[in-house]
Structure 1
């Protein structure tokens, strides 16, 4: 147990608005439990005990275990930067390499469990859906930059195209095939760019 979680004293919540100290303590506790016990030992009850927080407070801020896991996952992933090399093809290759690499080394097990929970838990499904939509919107900047440079056609919405690439990654995650070679990644990106390139027509 870290000093952060051991030194937690009684806190007061402030309604639906998150108390920053309580939020940090809860996320710290959740990460500690995942490190120590894995997903099998992870529960809202265990997090509440470790963080010295009330279960109603946790459920008010995270309506399901999956929603809390998503925040832990996103915290571990850190701020996402989308490479801007001035070349859309290279940026897409970097996107796939970064996501698959993170899932191989750290966050894959958590994200897989969130997807699994979403199949039977409506609250988990909402949390996952909102997260997926937000990430595709954010990563769409890669193609939007290419459109602005005139590298790729301007007559399409970047978000669903990025969802295609994310879908490939999700499939590899769920079927335990995250070891994707650089050649495979480049082939996928080249196939996509073949249809999007401003000179492909």
Structure 2
């Protein structure tokens, strides 16, 4: 029997309010299942067995598989990435992007990111999770970089949203086409364009 299928003692549910211990156990189990079986082998059943948590509890806290995977992604990314503070938007973006691409390449949840986006194109619940929960949380640090640059007078505050969209488009182009290694050389030039001074 594989590690994915080995059950652990069942944890008691405490209702809708999340138990920190149970939540941590479920997220740890989800990371382990994802690492062992990849996106194709990831299921709520496998996570439930691994964590010793009931499926109703998991579904009460994470409405879909995509919701759980996005929280695993968030936790791994927070542990691996730090927000750069070079005092220059181009430098900040180059450093952040290099770390982000390392995360996408080196971690199970990072490698699953492309599949999550693909699932969102055919699953309305996954799309809602991506658009309403995942993107606002994941662009928070980036927004701070652009806002700080606007405060220094590098860019216009009115252009932050557009520049952020350009940044996301550049990154997703390479991750969705599985060309991260090929695209690394383009990061500095792309970040200079995205961080170019506002026209006067």
Task: Classify the TM-score, shorter chain.
Answer: 0.7 to 0.9
Query: For the residues of structure 1 that align with 2:34 and 2:76, how far apart are their CA atoms?
Result: 12
Aligned residue pairs, count: 194
Counterpart of 1:146? 149
Which residues in structure 2 correspond to 1:110-149 (within 5 Å)? 110-129=112-131, 130-149=133-152
1:43 touches 1:65 (CA, 8 Å); kept in 2?
yes
Per-residue CA deviation, residues 27-74 of structure 1 (Å, 9 max, x unaligned), is 111111122222222110111111111111111111111111111111
> What residue ranges of structure 1 are gaps of 5+ in the alignment?
none
RMSD: 2.2
1:136 touches 1:163 (CA, 8 Å); kept in 2?
no
Query: For the residues of structure 2 that align with 1:181 and 1:119, how far apart are their CA atoms?
Result: 24
Query: For the residues of structure 2 that align with 1:183 and 1:117, how far apart are their CA atoms?
Result: 29
Counterpart of 2:46? 46
TM-score w.r.t. length of structure 2: 0.86
Which residues in structure 2 correspond to 1:3-18 (within 5 Å)? 9-18=9-18
Query: For the residues of structure 2 that align with 1:154 and 1:78, how far apart are their CA atoms?
Result: 27
Query: For the residues of structure 2 that align with 1:177 and 1:69, how far apart are their CA atoms?
Result: 22
Could you tell which deviates more after superposition, 114-123 or 177-186? 177-186
List, as ranges, runs of 4+ consecutive aligned residues in structure 1 with deviation greater than 6 Å: none
Query: For the residues of structure 2 that align with 1:16 and 1:98, how far apart are their CA atoms?
Result: 36
User: Once the 2 structures are TM-superposed, how far is the Cα of residue 182 of structure 1 from its aligned partner?
Assistant: 5.3
| Secondary structure, counterpart of 1:40 in structure 2 | coil
